[in-house]
Amino acid sequence: MPDEKTFFRHIDVKIWDLLQTGRGANILQGSVSFKDDNLEYCTEILPGMHDLSKLRSWWEDLAQDATNTDNRNHTDGFVQGIQPWMWAADYVRKYNTDWEKEVCAAGDLRLSLPMIPHGSIGPATAIRQAILPWFVAVKADGTTLDTPESGSWEEISAAHRDIVAIPALPQAIAVLFTAV
């Protein structure tokens, strides 16, 4: 709704876990817009930062950053927030990218990987209506998801079939039927 505080920036995976184990690399996410976005209220991304070598380098840079006095860039959660100090002018120059607005029109589909830094600018200037699907890979055993804490294939399937809440994290909203 207009004037709601909607600003955020994050990465939808635990970066260190992704870099060490690949957990979360087999997810496809995005949005389907039902209303037009505008330049004052839309999704933003850091183009190219989903590249694992860049992501690893940036993560290591953050650990060495002099402004990081309390090691606050690491988290035990499954989503990594991005504070303003975490994307300073030095990083813009080093990685040759900066936040880019992704303005979608009604009916547009935006797809991305969970490891690309993204967010929303704000406050809201209009009503925004969108569906935010996540497609998660199912492993070769036919039941384990790429992000096991999201639940199992059986739990997700039952929740969709019975039209009930999914008893796990939002990463399990939708499942892609492929084995990894």
At 136 the pLDDT is 79
Residue 153 lies in a domain: no
CB atoms within 10 A of CB 141: 9
* H-state helical runs in the chain: 15-21, 52-64, 89-95, 153-162
Tell me which DSSP letter residue 107 carries.
T
Across 46-74, b (16+ Cβ under 10 Å) vs e yields: beebbeeebbeebbebbeeeeebeeeebe
Residue 86 lies in a domain: yes
Calpha distance 172→170 (Å, rounded): 5
Residue 50 lies in a domain: yes
Query: Which residue range is the domain that position 79 belongs to?
Result: 8-25+40-107+115-126
HEC-encoded secondary structure of 140-178: CCCCEECCHHHCEHHHHHHHHHHCCCCCCCHHHCEEECC
- Digits of tens for pLDDT over the chain (180 positions)? 888 888 899 998 888 888 988 888 888 888 899 999 988 889 999 999 999 999 999 998 988 876 665 555 556 567 888 988 889 999 999 999 999 999 999 999 999 988 999 999 888 888 888 888 878 788 888 888 887 777 788 888 887 788 877 766 554 444 443 333
Calpha distance 55→18 (Å, rounded): 10
Calpha distance 24→146 (Å, rounded): 6
Residue 18 lies in a domain: yes
Residue 163 lies in a domain: no
Residue 44 lies in a domain: yes
Tell me the whole-structure pTM to 2 decimals.
0.77
Residue 65 lies in a domain: yes
Domains in the chain, number: 1
Residue 57 lies in a domain: yes
